[in-house]
Structure 1
Amino acid sequence: MSDSEIFARATRRRRRDRAAAAYPDFSFVRQHMLDGLVERLEGVQRDFRDVLDLGSFAGDLTLPGKRVARLDSGFGFARAAGGVQADEDRLPFADASFDLVISAGVLDQVNDVPGALVLARRVLRPDGLFLGAFLGAGTLSTLRASMFAAEADRPAARFHPQIEVRSAGDLLGRAGFTLPVADVETLNVRYGGIANLLRDLRGMAATNLLPDARPLTRETLARAAHAFAERADPDGRTAEKFEIVYLTGWAPDPSQPKPARRGSATTSLAQALKGPGAS
């Protein structure tokens, strides 16, 4: 790991290996992402044959009739999916190998997100499609507030940097994708206590990967649990947010529509604002 990297790669691999065995019990957030991505894919009138599942977990992405290659940074997940173990920002595939790249639930844990997107674009054939989803800004806002309340005197770095939806769209454009689109969806989950939320985060391999993270003491956890419970609804359950950012981008191809040339409009803005029949 270099000094400039945000996440500890070895820690990430260990956490994913630890989560692999019981992952189906904790896959609800990724499954929600996959449902959203497949829904977007169904709206595309194209035949995609060669697919890369980028960050495959256990290989729960199913696309009948497609050839799907799978990659995961964890050995346990890669083995379970019959795929390749590698990091998303260090792809081992040749350029122009796939028609479609789908990535669900991993880009928020990648050290070099711009680099990963560039590589995803490079392994796509011209006019190939990239569909991605990851946890963005606003995720775990209740847990974040509870931990801050528990460590107000000496807060520790316990949460990953988060990408806002507007920045995500900019990253697609910078990576060389055309027709980039980024949108966000909120998934609310209600918990009976902070322990249940932490269990889910461990099970989905979504815990703290920052290097030199300070251990969580029992006293801090107890204060955080109290703060979390104080935010509960009348039925005793506390709502937590998972903000899912969806990305869509195309590998460049001459056949794609181009933005109009500046100055080529035949109607002025003033005329357009007057509406039909105006003079």
Structure 2
Amino acid sequence: MEGQAPPQIFAPARRRAARRRADRRAVQSDAARYVLDDMVEDVVERLAFLRHEPGTAFLIGDRFGALAAELRALGCAVTQADAAQGLDEEQPLPVQGFDLVASLSSLDTLNDPVGALIHLRRALAPGGLALACLVGAGSLDALRSAMLVADGDRPAPRLHPMIDVRAGAQLLQRAGWGNPVVDTRALSVRYSSLSSLVADLRAQALGNCLARPGPPLTRSQAALAADSFGQGTIETFEILTLTGWRL
């Protein structure tokens, strides 16, 4: 039905708490940041390839300020925001008329991603570029397998559903982005243990923020999961990038 509210898959309060916790960890010198670093590098490369030189930019989720620093070095005026700072991405953005709007690791845990993409497009000036990077479907296979072993015959919702290339294209079409492009690339990371992966996910605000998460693992389940995950395991993040313009 037109105007029907989207299903509440994620809990906004848990999402904000996860991002605030990640912000607190970000000040530590050894804080994990490789997923965001990969996204920043990708955005910078795309801007160069597209020969798009924004004079103004609105950045969502650039928690370490790396993309802002790159853009400011090019003379771009940057505005930054994040859910941890009170931004509601499912509402119109507070400022409009930007040459570039970029969202990093944020859209995948919204209940209304189409609405958020519409707001990103509307925040652009005519001819402006929008880029959204997120962890997509196909990610964290080793973790998923370990959780299934731990849960046995009664699997619980441990990881949230993720967007794949086809779904991303459908979202952009519904949001009205001009010249939409969706692509994916793999980022592989080796972990010494399951606990090191979990710590890195929390440090990067990539943990479970479902509205109805599964129960905590028992001690025996946690041991099963750790044994299943093993040591020196390579885990993969599939980074999905959505690109489009305001025509």
What's the TM-score once normalised by structure 2's chain length?
0.90
Amino acid at match of 1:240: E
Counterpart in the other structure of 2:142: 142
- Given candidates 42, 55, 62, the residue that maps to 2:61 is 55
Q: Where does residue 25 of structure 2 map in the other structure?
A: 22
Name segments (4+ residues, structure 1) moved above 3 Å. none
Say which of 18, 30, 41 aligns to 1:35.
41
Q: 1:268-279 to 2 correspondence within 5 Å?
A: none
Unaligned runs of 5+ in 1: 76-84, 230-235, 253-279
Deviations 1:232-269 (A, max 9, x none): xxxx41110100001110112xxxxxxxxxxxxxxxxx
The answer as to 2:208 corresponding to 1:249 is: no
CA contact (8 A) 2:6 2:112 kept: no
Match of 1:71 among 54, 57, 81: 81
2:126 is equivalent to residue 126 of structure 1: yes
Aligned equivalents of 2:52 and 2:19: distance in 1? 34
Q: Contact 1:104 / 1:134 at 8 angstroms: preserved in 2?
A: yes
Q: Does structure 1 conserve the Cα–Cα contact (< 8 Å) formed by 2:93 and 2:119?
A: no
Same amino acid, percent of matched pairs: 41
Q: Is the 8 A contact 1:181 1:247 kept in 2?
A: yes
> How well do the aligned residues superpose, as a CA RMSD in angstroms?
1.6
Q: Larger relative contact order (C-alpha < 8 A, sep ≥ 6)?
A: 2
In structure 2, the CA distance between the partners of 1:91 and 1:218, relative to structure 1 (3 Å rule), is farther
In structure 2, C-alpha distance between the alignment counterparts of 1:8 and 1:17, rounded to whole Å: 14
Check whether the contact 1:168–1:247 (CA below 8 A) recurs between aligned residues: yes
Would the aligned equivalents of 1:125 and 1:251 in 2 still touch at CA under 8 Å? yes
Instruction: Give the Cα–Cα distance (whole angstroms) in 1 for the partners of residues 142 and 52 of structure 2.
Output: 41
**Quick one: which amino acid aligns to residue 70 of structure 1?**
Q
C-alpha distance in 2, partners of 1:11/1:104? Answer: 18
Residue 169 of structure 2 corresponds to: 169
Cα deviation digits, residues 169-207 of structure 1 (max 9, x gap): 221122111111111000111111101000101111111
Partner in structure 2 of residue 239 of structure 1: 234
Task: Tell me the distance in 2 between the aligned counterparts of 1:188 and 1:218.
Answer: 29
In the alignment, structure 1 residue 45 sits paired with structure 2 residue 51: yes
Q: Is the 8 A contact 1:126 1:251 kept in 2?
A: yes
Distance apart, 1:125 and its partner CA: 1.1
1:192 and 2:183 correspond: no
- In 1, distance between residues paired with 2:26 and 2:109? 17
**Structure 1 length-normalised TM:** 0.80
| Displacement of 1:3 | 8.7
Report the residue type matching 2:143 in the other structure.
Answer: L
How far apart in 2 are the matches of 1:72 and 1:110?
13
AA matched with 1:249: G
Partners of 1:91 and 1:68 lie apart in 2 by: 18
Amino acid at match of 2:232: R
CA contact (8 A) 1:55 1:88 kept: no
Q: Distance in 1 between matches of 2:114 and 2:92?
A: 13
Alignment of 1:205 with 2:205, yes or no, is yes
In structure 2, how many angstroms separate the alpha carbons of the residues matched to 1:122 and 1:68?
17
Structure with bigger helix share is 2
